[in-house]
Amino acid sequence: MKKLLGDEVSKHNSRESCWVVVHGKAYDVTEFLPEHPGGPRIILKYAGKDATDEFDPIHPPDTLDKYLDKSKHLGEVDMSTMAAEQKDKDPSEEERLERIKRMPALEQCFNMTDFEAVAKRVMKKTSWAYYSSGADDEIVWFRPRVLVDVENVDLSTVMLGTKVDIPFYVTATALGKLGHPEGEVILTRAAWKHNVIQMIPTLASCSFDEIVDARQGDQVQWLQLYVNKNRDITKRIVQHAENRGCKGLFITVDAPQLGRREKDMRSKFSDSGSDVQSTSGDKVDRSQGAARAISSFIDPSLSWRDIPWFMSITNMPIILKGVQRVEDVILAVEAGVHGVVLSNHGGRQLDFARSGVEILAEVMPVLRERGWENKIEVYIDGGIRRGTDIIKALCLGAKGVGIGRPFLYAMSAYGLPGVDRAMQLLKDEMAMNMRLIGCSSMDQLNPSLIDARGLTTHTATVPEDTLHLSCYDPLVSPGDKVMPKL
Amino acid sequence: MKKLLGDEVSKHNSRESCWVVVHGKAYDVTEFLPEHPGGPRIILKYAGKDATDEFDPIHPPDTLDKYLDKSKHLGEVDMSTMAAEQKDKDPSEEERLERIKRMPALEQCFNMTDFEAVAKRVMKKTSWAYYSSGADDEIVWFRPRVLVDVENVDLSTVMLGTKVDIPFYVTATALGKLGHPEGEVILTRAAWKHNVIQMIPTLASCSFDEIVDARQGDQVQWLQLYVNKNRDITKRIVQHAENRGCKGLFITVDAPQLGRREKDMRSKFSDSGSDVQSTSGDKVDRSQGAARAISSFIDPSLSWRDIPWFMSITNMPIILKGVQRVEDVILAVEAGVHGVVLSNHGGRQLDFARSGVEILAEVMPVLRERGWENKIEVYIDGGIRRGTDIIKALCLGAKGVGIGRPFLYAMSAYGLPGVDRAMQLLKDEMAMNMRLIGCSSMDQLNPSLIDARGLTTHTATVPEDTLHLSCYDPLVSPGDKVMPKL
Amino acid sequence: MKKLLGDEVSKHNSRESCWVVVHGKAYDVTEFLPEHPGGPRIILKYAGKDATDEFDPIHPPDTLDKYLDKSKHLGEVDMSTMAAEQKDKDPSEEERLERIKRMPALEQCFNMTDFEAVAKRVMKKTSWAYYSSGADDEIVWFRPRVLVDVENVDLSTVMLGTKVDIPFYVTATALGKLGHPEGEVILTRAAWKHNVIQMIPTLASCSFDEIVDARQGDQVQWLQLYVNKNRDITKRIVQHAENRGCKGLFITVDAPQLGRREKDMRSKFSDSGSDVQSTSGDKVDRSQGAARAISSFIDPSLSWRDIPWFMSITNMPIILKGVQRVEDVILAVEAGVHGVVLSNHGGRQLDFARSGVEILAEVMPVLRERGWENKIEVYIDGGIRRGTDIIKALCLGAKGVGIGRPFLYAMSAYGLPGVDRAMQLLKDEMAMNMRLIGCSSMDQLNPSLIDARGLTTHTATVPEDTLHLSCYDPLVSPGDKVMPKL
Amino acid sequence: MKKLLGDEVSKHNSRESCWVVVHGKAYDVTEFLPEHPGGPRIILKYAGKDATDEFDPIHPPDTLDKYLDKSKHLGEVDMSTMAAEQKDKDPSEEERLERIKRMPALEQCFNMTDFEAVAKRVMKKTSWAYYSSGADDEIVWFRPRVLVDVENVDLSTVMLGTKVDIPFYVTATALGKLGHPEGEVILTRAAWKHNVIQMIPTLASCSFDEIVDARQGDQVQWLQLYVNKNRDITKRIVQHAENRGCKGLFITVDAPQLGRREKDMRSKFSDSGSDVQSTSGDKVDRSQGAARAISSFIDPSLSWRDIPWFMSITNMPIILKGVQRVEDVILAVEAGVHGVVLSNHGGRQLDFARSGVEILAEVMPVLRERGWENKIEVYIDGGIRRGTDIIKALCLGAKGVGIGRPFLYAMSAYGLPGVDRAMQLLKDEMAMNMRLIGCSSMDQLNPSLIDARGLTTHTATVPEDTLHLSCYDPLVSPGDKVMPKL
């Protein structure tokens, strides 16, 4: 078959007819534009051009095969005929490369936040903008026991039937290749080494099979699922995962629409500013808002009525990821699912969503009152950065915690050794802190070891504060004498 | 009739005889001086001079006809005989014009606060000082539901019988021409486009009729009313509004005296410093204080006894704007009015006045206890900047919210397209946030979706803090060695 | 009698024999040194020298006659024979004089804090250090009424039988001449003009009689009393005051020892550093601590048992100034005194002492429960800077408030016109705020108009915070790579 | 015996064979490396070298005799044959010496925090890093009594049978020679002078006997004990202390593992960066974590079962140091011990450990309810910097307080005179504050004198806040216009 020429491709550079080239092949994405979860604008920027560099870190390699109808695969392009993209020299990128040279040694990192600080310095600004987010500072105090034999501390526990060395799992985070060229398989290898479970994200940069193939020995993985409007696709994904050995199905229930992330939007805007054609009210680009909601990738009509169907298509235990109030945990128990993850989606979705640990403090007393605390496994994720954070969650009643971004930061800065050290630091911290609170095994953790009254005061930093303060004019004292004008 | 000459006009330049020229006509305002709501000093600055530039943005065009007795209209002036005002070159104005050139594109604004930030950069300092004010940061947390079908979200609701597309209205804000030369009619057009109601302010820069004339189709407007001591004037205003089609009468009840706004006063002072003749205690200018209170424009004797009279002169629903405690909401129900707006007047009147949302949290449980929650429509205004703010208010029990300054900022920076985008952003935000809390229509919003306990801790920034801190000397550690003096 | 010569005087320059010259007369203060309320060191600095400049602003003119035995009055000095003091050129003083030239016009001050800001700029550093102190920020919110006729607002009330125009009095503050050469008589004149009561301080810079002589018409004054160990002196002071027409006796009960004021101490130290002879532990100067406590000027043994004696020597109403808890208010009622001032001594005595308004919120409910709220007049002082502060105190149940430092600041910066304007601003603010909360007279103020729950959270800035934070090293992120040392 | 030569010594410079020279003698520490409480790395830095300078300030002189088997003592070294260490010129050290010249006079220090500020300026950075830590700011307010005779204030009390002049003791702090070359004996001398008790630390820089030998007259000392895994060693230490006259045995129960102190680790890392050989995950140095836990110096298996044994080997009263919850105080009473020290180990062990005063507020009401408040003496330590802090603790029910770091700071900056002044300042402050709250002896202090409700709100600064905030990107307002790329 004859290859396409650059001249032909470059004509299809508009919303009316939009082709892009990826890895030497051309694709007609005109009809796909409104469906694109990231909005049409970012594609239009590469209309008629080679989009490979932009495409790679944020899409699994099988994306186009899976989601774009074969009829839109236009075949190979004679890349020698494509006009070379003129890349602007980017001073901030040069500074970044300088910073990478001065990057601290891995041994200079002593906690999760250290990795975050290094990642901030060495990552591309846009990648950092995608990963980063605000902090929750939930104030829970310890009430340690003393004079308890803590010579041997056992951090192991059992999650959904799997024995793990420490009660955290690697939770699903999107777009790992933004941080490291190998992507999520690095997390797979580190999880194996430390005998913890990895949850495979729907929106991974590596393909699902790549991540499963990276598994070693009897390593256990779970699947995180965004439910597609097309239930056949969903069914195929779930059954494929079960066939490939996944041991848990975590259905994301808190993302009927992807949140508008303003930091991300502002960062993207400056990237694609040249496409803006108008400042008039009539031509406002709405792609950031409603458009994404109608993407078929995430079904906003997903509801409790769908749970029995999931049970009918898989034998994996089913866990609802993103539950945010006790009433819904009760519904989950009644629906017969095996677990819930209490979460505010890392603070990325809804402003003023309570953190997982806060929701946990609301949930567990109600479950205990009903005698239901063992009817369902309760996890939390978001904001876990310390061994003490894990202990607090378990004292409150969680089975374990999910950790995501800290490992992304460690991976982005140092690759596999970074994630390895991050996990080891958490183990060391947690073992030490177990001794300091006077406990030697997970089953000894209980609510009497903490004072969680501060949780209800919600001291978390509220995002728009900083924004508004930049506009606020404080009252000022009188200035110098105002002289009469002559 | 012969035109007046500049020489003649310029003689009347004192408190004893004060003429001003506006749009080529002279007026004798000597007797009016003490009545001027803005105080006499600002008029005296233009005594014997042409005041048109200062007059225009802060007075409706029909002001002089309406409020100054015809006998004081002195007739046309031969403007060629008026001495030209020597304008000082103003470096800060030149910098402002530079900033306007670098103004961000409308698409770079992603939320209400962005408009505020841009407006701050591009508005005249005195106009900004008039518009701006401190922030309330009421901390209300969400308790979202999951697994609810939110594919279709309907933001519409009914306010005082009018169906609107989203539960906010454009509340009354004074002096729109300070921000944009066309003034409030821009808000009229944007409100039409987004099918929301505009409340017409008494102190608009455009005349009432101009604003009504800008109405399109079946667009609905309300009237905000400052009650004049002369009830005949008030009656005329109200009945004129009803005749012109207004569908609601919002009587401002929280402004028996206009608050002393110190930022504004300090800004005005530097503007008119040359008129200060003395620093002795005996000649202190009192115009900022008592003088304004006796202005007949706002009647400080307005009381509950006046409500029946209002009901007798109009068939419009009557809403009390500025109620600040539950006891008065109960009186409002008993008085038979149709609604209340809970408000602290944007924080512009009384320091330490609680925000609308706080008052709402006090009011609704009491109404519900009495079964009165449907006997009256409850609105709030002030501090609404996010879709989440609207949702929170409706969860607490409000029928809708008034938004004012954010639209002024958008208008000041970008005109109609700015207001259009601001309204669209609010719609997008609110639709997204409805999905994220698991609701698809306004009637589903209820108190169980929020955790409002933080409201009673009043975290709002208290204005004079910043002022006092600038005077405070913190304790310091010892300095260097004090050497013996030789 | 022959005049003393400078040579003779200058020999008495030690702790063993210490003479000082004041207004051309020599005094032997050797035995007086340990009694000096300000400690001996400051006197020793002028041993054998002319101390007039230092003496004047901080002592009433009759001090030496009153407190130093006649035998120690050594007679006149031939001042031409005294060696001229070599004054160092002081650059900070020159800068201060520059700042005075640029001092804002009085009309540029719009509130009490403005006066404080100006005073800070134009006062001598040591004087400012003596006057200034931290801020309390008690958060009390208003619950205003609306639709109440507030056309005429009457601020007058009755304090201890005297009708005043506004419910504040000028409370006793020490050393007025540090701020203005005329001292406290300026406050007398301003109080007359605004028909408020002045409390005459024991530690005034003007003599008691000078302040009484400055009285006009039927002006009312009260006496503030530090109780001397020698009750004869105390009796003489009290009966003299009654004879001169004072209408109230305010006995200070919260100062058994003058507080160590570290800002003041640090400021004084740098002033007298040359006298420090040693840094060894054995010769530590203790004058700042225990020495002052044994001063006979303030009797630390004063107790409830002394109250009947006070009642026996005067017919003036007796008020206890500085009560800090409800238990002591009850004792005060039982002791039959006429009033109490709840106060933390302006935050100058004890760290972590609660502010007057906080104590008031504790006291009044208990009094009301017992039906005692009219058995005693309750005042507060400290931290009153706004008309709203006065209103809040009256809503809580105070009869009135004492204001001290704000008037000192206004006086220091602008003299009598400053104090006049300050009082007028308070009247204007208070009248306006009365309208805004819907009240037209003092007797309408009541607890339902405020939300004082925030009072118990004590948000006042704690002094040593700032001090300690300056020593605190925050955790830091890892630095750059540590390179191997070659 | 023939002296060892430098050549021979320098060969043993690795983990496989590690010799070090201290005070002219060589030691084989190869087998000891994993036991070293400070981790092996710091020793390896001096493998084959003279470690005297590093060794001295942080080990008592009898350390090697006591803890290293005689067979590892290799005998004297001919120091003339040792290669001279090449010391780098250190600019920060030169700046420090400059700062020492400008050190303020002792009399310029007026409170504990002043000493801390001076110590920060004049101490070596690594020593400072070891000593310093964050602040607790517990907000307890006073409710002072007035009109109480406080002429004579008696600060004395009785602790474990010993009469002391003021209710604090010098608590055990490690490594005094980091601050001053003479070490802990300076504290012994100051304690004697002020008649307070010194607690001798296990980890002192001076040897136990040196500290006891520094005792004067009938001075009383206590022993702080880290319990060794080898109970024979522990028994020997305890009985030796009792024989040498110690009057109390304070068993540290809150340190089953020494906390990871990240500031300290980061400071040490930069000191020994050249030894880092790898950044790979496989060679991560674990010495900071698990290794230390297995050190035999502190037995992590210590438990309640051991208490009877301690009672069997000594007649000294036994006090448990580091109790952190009321349940354990009850166990302590039941175990028959004489006292507890409520403490969070100065905030150095466990993040989110509550301060001693907070635990005290939890403990005392429970003891009083059981009538047990006199069955055990309750002490607190940590964060005591003011006379008011001592008074608050006693009001809550403590018998006394331990003060450590403030005296270290005073000692580091000024030696014995510094500690002397620090203690005198505390006495002066406390006497003054006793007067100001209306109490003249310790037994008058009681809970009604304070308002401790603020304690439960935990306002202490949480360490990692500052760390995380350095990574946080606040939301920003839109930047300038993004111009189309040409």
Residues of C with CB under 8 A from a CB of A: 102-105, 108-110, 113-114, 117-118, 477-482
The reported pLDDT for the residue numbered D452 is: 86
Chain-chain contact of A110 with C478 (C-beta, under 8 angstroms) = yes
Tens of pLDDT, residues C442-485: 999 999 999 888 776 554 434 444 555 566 565 566 666 665 54
Of residues A259, A324, A477, nearest to B470 (C-beta): A477
Q: Which of B235, C278, A402, A259 is nearest to D414 (CA)?
A: C278
- Interface confidence, given as ipTM, is 0.82
Question: What b/e readout covers A363-395, taking b as 16+ CB neighbours within 10 angstroms?
Answer: bbeebeeeeeeeebbbbbbbbbbbbbbbbbbbb
Spell out which residues of chain B touch residue A273, defining contact as CB-CB under 8 Å: 105
Which residue spans of chain C are classified as CATH 3.10.120.10?
Answer: 6-81
Nearest chain C CA: its distance from A104 CA (Å): 4
d(CA A367, CA A228): 31
Nearest chain A CA: its distance from B166 CA (Å): 15
Question: For chain C, how long is the longest CA-to-CA vector?
Answer: 89
pLDDT bucket at D136, cuts 50 / 70 / 90: low
Which residue spans of chain A are classified as CATH 3.20.20.70?
Answer: 109-258+295-458
Nearest chain B CA: its distance from C239 CA (Å): 35
**Residues whose CB falls within 8 Å of the CB of residue C290, separated by 6 or more in sequence, listed in order:** D428, D431
The reported pLDDT for the residue numbered A347 is: 67
Chain-chain contact of C105 with A482 (C-beta, under 8 angstroms) = yes
Spell out which residues of chain B touch residue A323, defining contact as CB-CB under 8 Å: 146
Q: Which of C50, C114, C136, C254 is catalytic?
A: C254
Has residue B288 got a pLDDT over 50? Answer: no
Chain-chain contact of B464 with A483 (C-beta, under 8 angstroms) = no
Axis-axis angle for helices B185-193, B405-437 (nearest 10): 20
Q: Is D226 marked active-site?
A: yes
Spell out which residues of chain B touch residue C110, defining contact as CB-CB under 8 Å: 260, 262, 265-266, 288
d(CA D309, CA D239): 13
Q: Which of A254, C225, A7, C412 is nearest to B433 (CA)?
A: A254
- Number of C-beta neighbours around residue B277 at 10 A: 10
CB B106 within 8 A of CB A284: yes
Plot region of C71 (φ>0 → left; ψ -120 to 50 → alpha; else → beta): alpha
The reported pLDDT for the residue numbered A168 is: 98
d(CA D206, CA D188): 11
Hey, which of A221-235, C90-104, C156-170, C243-257 has the most confident mean pLDDT?
Answer: C156-170
Of residues C279, C325, C458, nearest to D144 (C-beta): C325
The reported pLDDT for the residue numbered D317 is: 98
Secondary structure E strands in D180-338: 198-200, 221-225, 249-252, 318-323
Q: Exposed (0-12), middle (13-18) or buried (19+): which is A95, by Cβ within 10 Å?
A: exposed
The fraction of chain B above a pLDDT of 90, given in percent, is 53
d(CA D436, CA D416): 30
**Residues whose CB falls within 8 Å of the CB of residue C458, separated by 6 or more in sequence, listed in order:** C354, C358, D139, D141, D454
Has residue C436 got a pLDDT over 80? Answer: yes
HSE toward the beta carbon, residue B307, CA cutoff 13 A: 23
Q: Which of D12, D36, D338, D345 is catalytic?
A: D345
The reported pLDDT for the residue numbered B58 is: 76
More confident residue, B186 or D109: B186
The reported pLDDT for the residue numbered C314 is: 98
Tens of pLDDT, residues B289-348: 333 433 557 888 999 999 999 999 999 999 999 999 999 999 999 999 999 999 987 666
The stretches in chain A having pLDDT less than 70 are 1, 37-38, 85-88, 133-138, 258-296, 346-348, 456-477, 479-486
Q: Which of B111, B147, B110 is nearest to B440 (CA)?
A: B147
Spell out which residues of chain C touch residue B282, defining contact as CB-CB under 8 Å: 417, 420
Chain-chain contact of C139 with B462 (C-beta, under 8 angstroms) = yes
Has residue C25 got a pLDDT over 90? Answer: yes
How far are the Cα atoms of A119, A135, D269, D473 from residue D470, in angstroms, in the given order?
A: 12, 11, 21, 8
The reported pLDDT for the residue numbered C62 is: 82
Spell out which residues of chain B touch residue A459, defining contact as CB-CB under 8 Å: none
Domain A109-258+295-458: state its class: alpha beta
Spell out which residues of chain A touch residue B266, defining contact as CB-CB under 8 Å: 476, 478
Nearest chain B CA: its distance from D371 CA (Å): 37
Spell out which residues of chain A touch residue B273, defining contact as CB-CB under 8 Å: 482-485
**Residues whose CB falls within 8 Å of the CB of residue C455, separated by 6 or more in sequence, listed in order:** C138, C139, C140, C357, C358, C361
The reported pLDDT for the residue numbered D133 is: 61
β B400-403/D339-342 pair status = unpaired
d(CA B137, CA A462): 9
HSE toward the beta carbon, residue D192, CA cutoff 13 A: 16
d(CA C11, CA C19): 9
Based on its alpha-carbon atoms, the radius of gyration of chain A, rounded to whole angstroms, reads 25
The reported pLDDT for the residue numbered B172 is: 93
Based on its alpha-carbon atoms, the radius of gyration of chain B, rounded to whole angstroms, reads 25
Chain-chain contact of A142 with D353 (C-beta, under 8 angstroms) = yes
Q: Which residues are paired to A250 by β-bridges?
A: A224, A319
Q: Which of A207, A172, A212 is nearest to A192 (CA)?
A: A212
CB B449 within 8 A of CB B437: yes
More confident residue, D4 or A67: D4
Element of type H or E holding C49: strand C49-50
Secondary structure E strands in D217-355: 221-225, 249-252, 318-323, 339-342
Handedness of CA B306, B308, B314, B317 (dihedral sign): positive
Q: What angle do CA C260, C261, C266 make, to 5 degrees?
A: 115
Of residues C102, C479, C482, nearest to A480 (C-beta): C102
Q: Which residues are paired to C221 by β-bridges?
A: C198
**Residues whose CB falls within 8 Å of the CB of residue A28, separated by 6 or more in sequence, listed in order:** A12, A17, A18, A19, A72, A74
Say which amino acid occupies C466. Answer: T
CB B333 within 8 A of CB B302: no
Tens of pLDDT, residues D337-380: 999 999 987 666 777 888 899 999 999 999 999 999 999 999 99
Nearest chain C CA: its distance from A376 CA (Å): 39
The reported pLDDT for the residue numbered D275 is: 35
CB C356 within 8 A of CB C168: no
Tens of pLDDT, residues D71-98: 999 999 999 898 876 666 778 888 888 8
Reading the block at residue B403, the tokens are: 């938004």
Spell out which residues of chain B touch residue D479, defining contact as CB-CB under 8 Å: 104, 108
Spell out which residues of chain D touch residue A276, defining contact as CB-CB under 8 Å: 482, 484
Has residue B248 got a pLDDT over 60? Answer: yes
**Interface test mutation site (partner A, options C111, C480, C485, max chain A beta carbons within 10 A):** C480
Chain-chain contact of D469 with A429 (C-beta, under 8 angstroms) = no
Nearest chain D CA: its distance from A78 CA (Å): 27
Reading the block at residue B236, the tokens are: 């005329």
More confident residue, D225 or C45: D225
Q: Which of B254, B328, B389, B420 is catalytic?
A: B254
The reported pLDDT for the residue numbered B20 is: 92
Question: In a 3-state reduction of DSSP, which class is residue C6?
Answer: helix
Chain-chain contact of A117 with C477 (C-beta, under 8 angstroms) = yes
Q: Which chains touch C (3+ CB pairs under 8 A)? A: A, B, D
The reported pLDDT for the residue numbered D357 is: 92
Q: Which chains touch D (3+ CB pairs under 8 A)? A: A, B, C
- Number of C-beta neighbours around residue C356 at 10 A: 31
Q: Which residues are paired to B221 by β-bridges?
A: B198
Alpha helices per DSSP H over C244-325: 262-271, 292-293, 307-313
Chain-chain contact of A479 with C114 (C-beta, under 8 angstroms) = no
Chain-chain contact of D433 with C350 (C-beta, under 8 angstroms) = yes
A300 to chain B: nearest residue by CA? B151
Of residues D107, D273, D467, nearest to C482 (C-beta): D273
Tens of pLDDT, residues B142-175: 899 999 999 999 999 999 999 999 999 999 987 8
Q: Which of C27, C46, C131, C226 is catalytic?
A: C226
The reported pLDDT for the residue numbered B391 is: 97
pTM as predicted:
0.85
Based on its alpha-carbon atoms, the radius of gyration of chain D, rounded to whole angstroms, reads 25
The reported pLDDT for the residue numbered A463 is: 41
Chain-chain contact of C479 with A117 (C-beta, under 8 angstroms) = no
Domain C6-81: state its class: alpha beta
Chain centre distance of CA A448: 32
DSSP letter string, D359-422 = HHHHHHHHHHHTT-TTTSEEEEESS--SHHHHHHHHHHT-SEEEE-HHHHHHHHHHHHHHHHHH
Secondary structure E strands in C288-427: 318-323, 339-342, 377-381, 400-403
The reported pLDDT for the residue numbered A140 is: 84
Chain-chain contact of D479 with B103 (C-beta, under 8 angstroms) = no
Please identify every residue of A annotated as catalytic.
Answer: 226, 254, 345
Phi then psi for A252, rounded to 5 degrees?
A: -75, 120
The reported pLDDT for the residue numbered C210 is: 95
Question: In a 3-state reduction of DSSP, which class is residue B170?
Answer: strand
**Interface test mutation site (partner B, options C103, C108, C141, max chain B beta carbons within 10 A):** C141
The reported pLDDT for the residue numbered B128 is: 79
d(CA B241, CA B318): 13
Chain-chain contact of C457 with B457 (C-beta, under 8 angstroms) = yes
How high does pLDDT run on average in chain B?
84
Nearest chain D CA: its distance from B101 CA (Å): 9
- Number of C-beta neighbours around residue B322 at 10 A: 25
Q: Which of C12, C36, C59, C345 is catalytic?
A: C345
Q: Report, as an integer, the average pLDDT of D62-77.
A: 87
Tens of pLDDT, residues C423-432: 999 999 999 9
d(CA D217, CA D219): 5
Placement of tokens 């602290």 in the chain? B344
Reading the block at residue B100, the tokens are: 């306007």
Chain-chain contact of D465 with A120 (C-beta, under 8 angstroms) = no
Spell out which residues of chain B touch residue D113, defining contact as CB-CB under 8 Å: 477
Nearest chain D CA: its distance from C357 CA (Å): 14
HSE toward the beta carbon, residue A114, CA cutoff 13 A: 27
The reported pLDDT for the residue numbered D93 is: 84
Has residue B439 got a pLDDT over 90? Answer: yes
Reading the block at residue A314, the tokens are: 């898989």
